[in-house]
Amino acid sequence: MQQLVADLLHQLELERLEVNLFRGESRDFGSPQVYGGQVLGQALRAAYATIDDGRIVHSLHAYFLRRGDFNLPIVYSVDRSRDGSSYSSRRVVAIQKGEQIFHLAASFQVPEQGFEHQMPMPQVPGPADLPDLTRLPETIAERLPDKVRNFLQRQRPFEFRMVQPIDLLTGNAAPAHQQVWVRLCDQIEATDEMHRCLLAYIADFGFLNVATLPHGSSYAHGDLFMASLDHAMWFHRKFRVDQWLLYDMDSPSASGGRGLARGSFYAADGALVASTAQEGLIRFIDAKR
């Protein structure tokens, strides 16, 4: 696990090609294309590389334009849109094979004090009382499609503990609400900047699946094509990704071949540390359904 974490940190250490131009390595995440969270985390890291005075990212908004090839590196071009007295804006374009595959806009702020309030953390069992998502019972694993089983059982640098059991076999409808504890598999010495980039990396993992739950289907059934269209994040308070975070997700709507997901990250002490939103493409692979 230490090697997996070290490799993830290495992915987020971009090579500077020019003043505002960076290159990041890609990895096979077990999906046909580059994992969206990799592009999100690397793009945020590229934007951070042009911030010089300790400002912190407080929000980002991104669009996924084309499928990326995990066999190739990705080039990130950063536009220094504005540096004000308190806020800085950056726009990042990710490029592969001469084409734009991703856009990100991020805003950075000089830390300051102000009003404080938050929605309370949901009451859920702690991670120690819940099963590891990647350790599927063999009776379930053997009945899944090969590509789904391999994807779920793949070793990753993060741990996942599901609050609500995932129905991987029967296809029963469920409420559009899902909660999972997540943390990095190893303790790290890293800046607040790196922890925010790592949270951007993991926030995309399985996020859109919550929009499929009311319809008795999911990526695990192998009958859906799903792809992120956009992704937004707001960072509220400091946190560490090598400590347990509760990802509380819901989906208020699905329509037009798209699903909307919303999420909140809570630290174990109940602090709301980040919020997320994503819309994605959801289509049946079997066009007759």
* Residue with tokens 């950056």, as numbered in its chain: 90
Q: Give the Å distances, CA to CA, from 236 to 110, 121, 272.
A: 13, 14, 7
- CA gap 193, 135 in Å, rounded: 31
Which strands form 74-83's sheet, in the order they lie side by side? 15-18, 21-24, 74-83, 87-96, 99-109, 56-64, 224-235, 272-284, 258-267, 245-255, 177-184, 158-162
- Using left for φ > 0, alpha for ψ between -120 and 50, and beta otherwise, residue 97 falls in left
- Show which residues are catalytic: 204, 228, 278
CA atoms within 13 A on the CB side of 284: 7
Query: Residue type at 273?
Result: V
Burial of 26 (0-12, 13-18, 19+ CB in 10 A): buried
Burial of 208 (0-12, 13-18, 19+ CB in 10 A): buried
